[in-house]
Every structure is written in C-alpha cells, then in structure tokens.
Amino acid sequence: MNPHGTYSFEFFPPIGEVQTAALYEAADQLAALQPDFFSVTYGAGGGTRRHTLETVLELQRRTGVSGVPHISCIGSSRRRIRAVLDDFQAQGIRHVVALRGDLPSGLAAPGEFRFATELVEFIRRHSGDYFHIEVAAYPEVHPQSVRFSDELQHFRLKVEAGANSAITQFFFNPDAYFRFTDACRQCGVDIPIVPGIMPITNCERLVRFAGVCGAEIPRWLLYRLRDYGDDRKAIQDFGLEVVADLCERLLQGGAPGLHIYTLNRARVSVQLCQALTARGLPFG
C-alpha cells in the first residue's frame, strides 16, 4: 500500500467488442495514474460471471496494474465458490472483493450462502490467509437494513470473519462516512474503510443507481443537476467540482484512499484525479 492510502478503480466485465475496446482503452489511461489496483465486478445474473476473471487477467496483462476480482455468493453453492477460488489461486490472484450480491430477478433460491459474512468465513476456511479480502460497507445503511445498529453489527461480523479492508457504497454526504467510521472504531473495528466514489456524469443514471443501492442524493445536489437539463457538459463540470470537494473532505478527514466507480470510462475519473492533484491531494 502506498503511504497515502489505497487508490483503485472499478470496472464491470464488458460484453461485446465495442464495450471491450472501450474498457481497455479506459484502463490504459487510468493505469497511467498508477493506482494500487483495478477491481472487476462479478455479475449477479450469471451472464458475466465467467468474464470477471478473464477481464482481471487481461487488465493485468495489458497494464501491469494488479487486478482484483469481485466474488458474490448469493444463489451459489460451496462447490461452485470453491471452484472460483481455486481458479483465482491458480492464476496467482491474492486479493478479492467478497460480496453477498443480490438475487437475479426470477431466481428465488438464495443458495448455500445467506450473507457475505458466510462467504468470508468460507474463504478463510478454504484458503487460510492466502487472500486479502475486501468487503462492502454502507455508511448510509444498506437498503435492506432497518437500523444503523444492525448495519454496524453485521459489518463487524464480516470483519471478525476475516475481512482485511472495506470499500463503501457511493455517497455524497461525507458526514455519513465519518459517522460510520467513528462508530466502527468505537466497536473495535479498525480495518481501512475506503470511500467508494461515483463520478457525476448523468443525472437520470445517478438517480437510478442511487435508488437501487440506497445512496442519498442531497436535495440541493439533485435540484442543481436538474437545472442543467440535457446540458451534459454543464452536468459534468458541476459534478466534477462537487465530487472533488467530497474527495477533498474525505482525504483531509483521514479517509485511507479512494475507490472510483468508473463505469468503464476514463475521462471523468482522470479529470477527478487531476483536480485532486491540482488541490495538492494524493492520487496513487
């Protein structure tokens, strides 16, 4: 880990030639920023699952940046997860993001794992300390949780099961992050909790994502974004300023790095990193 913390970018496995070319072009540009790793999501629907490892390996081969596959357990079996872990190990992957995931619509059976804690326990039982395990954290509370105290307790259990570090769901309210990390420390959880950062490029898409994952878009931000209508350039310029301010507050408040959700595009992430560097803040 570099002395300023951990800096990483997240991609999803591309489908088809156009997406594939766009992803690798983005990765080439983002690799120049020397991040600690590139992570690749693990599709809950099954369609992209087999592409996660392929994408990780190709990213590593092309860019030299360490690749980190996500793995989700919902709807899966121990046998299947064991096989995925063995594949990772055979390819020399030592760092994973371990998640419960969400059941694809139409699939009712949760499989042999109910929560990410059980996946973390399973990975430790199967592979000992071989993997560095990241887990997800929700400063604004996971949409299925009823109380903050439940969220905290369930996060603590994931850490006790063997998680080494965490990446948060995206958020725009830095106080939610600081309150969450303070509460973690108070209950003895002291792993690094890296903020997940969502660049703002498109108001409707942001509202859709936020609705699905329970992230709050502050009213003032939503109304300002709506004012820009179809003016994408104005939305992106304003979004860049807002997200750079957020990152600045997080890093100055002691956040141990940043994890940027790239949506497989480089431009906005590069601009954000340049904006942080111009403010004297580290990236990579």
Ligand X SMILES: Cc1cc2nc3c(=O)[nH]c(=O)nc-3n(C[C@H](O)[C@H](O)[C@H](O)COP(=O)(O)OP(=O)(O)OC[C@H]3O[C@@H](n4cnc5c(N)ncnc54)[C@H](O)[C@@H]3O)c2cc1C
Q: Is 36 in the site for ligand X (CB under 6 A)?
A: no
Q: Is 55 in the site for ligand X (CB under 6 A)?
A: no
77 in Cβ contact with 112 (< 8 Å): yes
Structure tokens at 279: 């403010």
Q: Determine how many CB atoms are found less than 10 A away from the CB of residue 12.
A: 21
CA-CA distance, 47 to 264, in Å (whole number)?
Answer: 18
| CB 252 to ligand X: min, Å | 22
* Amino acid sitting at position 11: F
Among 78, 142, 179, 224, binds ligand X (CB under 6 A): 142
User: One of 10, 118, 134, 151 is an active-site residue; which one?
Assistant: 10
Which one of the spans 37-45, 125-133, 216-224, 275-283 is the region binding ligand X (CB under 6 A)? 37-45
Burial (CB count within 10 angstroms: exposed 0-12, middle 13-18, buried 19+), residue 196: buried
CB closer to ligand X, 63 vs 117: 117
Alpha helix ranges (H) inside the chain: 16-31, 49-63, 78-90, 116-127, 148-160, 174-186, 203-213, 219-227, 232-252, 267-278
Tokens 């030639």 -> residue: 17
CB closer to ligand X, 29 vs 145: 145
Q: Is 72 in the site for ligand X (CB under 6 A)?
A: yes
259 phi, psi to nearest 5 deg:
-125, 120
Is 160 among the residues known to form the active site? no
Q: Is 97 in the site for ligand X (CB under 6 A)?
A: yes
Report how far apart the first and last C-alpha atoms of the chain are (Å, whole number): 10
Which one of the spans 98-106, 124-132, 222-230, 270-278 is the region binding ligand X (CB under 6 A)? 98-106
Tell me 6's DSSP state.
E
Residues 151-190 that bind ligand X (CB under 6 A): 151, 154, 158, 167, 169
| CB 249 to ligand X: min, Å | 20
Structure tokens at 282: 């580290």
* Torsion from C-alpha of 280, 190, 37, 283, nearest 10 degrees: 0
**Pairing assessment for the beta strands 193-197 and 165-170 based on DSSP bridges:** parallel
Q: Is 145 in the site for ligand X (CB under 6 A)?
A: yes
Tokens 């958020």 -> residue: 171
Provide the mask over 210-229, with x wherever binding to ligand X is found by CB under 6 A and - wherever it is not: ---x----------------
Among 44, 123, 159, 268, binds ligand X (CB under 6 A): 44
Among 8, 13, 27, 41, binds ligand X (CB under 6 A): 41
* Active-site residue list: 10
Interface with ligand X (CB under 6 A) = 41-42, 44, 70, 72, 97, 99-102, 115-117, 136, 142, 144-145, 150-151, 154, 158, 167, 169, 196, 213
